[in-house]
Structure 1
Amino acid sequence: MEQYEVISALSALAQPTRLTAFRLIVRHGPDGLPAGEIARQLEVPQNTMSTHLAQLARSGLVLAERQGRTVAYRADMERMRGVIEYLVNDCCGGRPELCDPLINDITTHCSPVEKRAMR
């Protein structure tokens, strides 16, 4: 991933509504969420939410898919992975054991909800 792509992604997330929307979309996994539902859950006017979702889409963090009369958004997890890889590419100066806590924290959040609740 190129530096400008990472900057675009991070810039898109550097706004509270877009960051919250992205996190909401990520929680809904590969099925995504219709734009109107995102606006409703975040209590943001639909036209305002549309602008935020367009910015996330331009950055490549979300993919828009028309489903009849609505547009559903889902996170592009490959793109997010690319951003994270770019950020930690040179992690720990060749000592991978120093990155283990970061990797463990990320994978902990990816485990099923039932397992996380038990921790």
Structure 2
Amino acid sequence: MDLEIAAKALKELGHPTRLAIFKRLVKAGPEGLAVGALQDELTIPNSTLSHHISSLVSASLISQNREGRTLYCQPDYDHLQAVINFLQDECCVDQK
């Protein structure tokens, strides 16, 4: 994984509200949650939630899918795992 991509993901997860959103989506599973359910559960104003979701989408941490009138957010587990792997890849390589 590229350093810039990992840094972007970690930057977006470094905000408490975005981290709360992402953790809730991870907890929900691959199907994700409707935006309305996220808003209700986390009591985040709609415009604020939209801003944070946009940041997470731009970092490839979540995707969105519309079903009828409902917009769902799903976590991207592969991207999350790639970021974790990036952090762990060189663990202890300098130890003798």
Amino acid at match of 1:3: L
Aligned counterpart, 2:25? 25
TM-score (norm. length: structure 1):
0.76
Q: CA deviation at 1:94?
A: 7.4
After the TM superposition, which parts of structure 1 deviate over 3 Å for at least 4 consecutive aligned residues? none
Q: Give ranges in structure 2 of 5+ residues lacking alignment.
A: none
Deviations 1:39-95 (A, max 9, x none): 110011111101100100100000111111121011100000000010111012277
TM-score (norm. length: structure 2):
0.94
More helix by share: 1
Aligned counterpart, 1:85? 85
Quick one: distance in 1 between partners of 2:8 and 2:71? 22
Identity %: 34
How many residues are matched?
95
Structure with the larger RCO, 1 or 2 (CA within 8 Å, 6+ apart): 2
Amino acid at match of 1:2: D
Quick one: distance in 1 between partners of 2:79 and 2:20? 18
Q: Give ranges in structure 1 of 5+ residues lacking alignment.
A: 96-119
Aligned counterpart, 1:52? 52
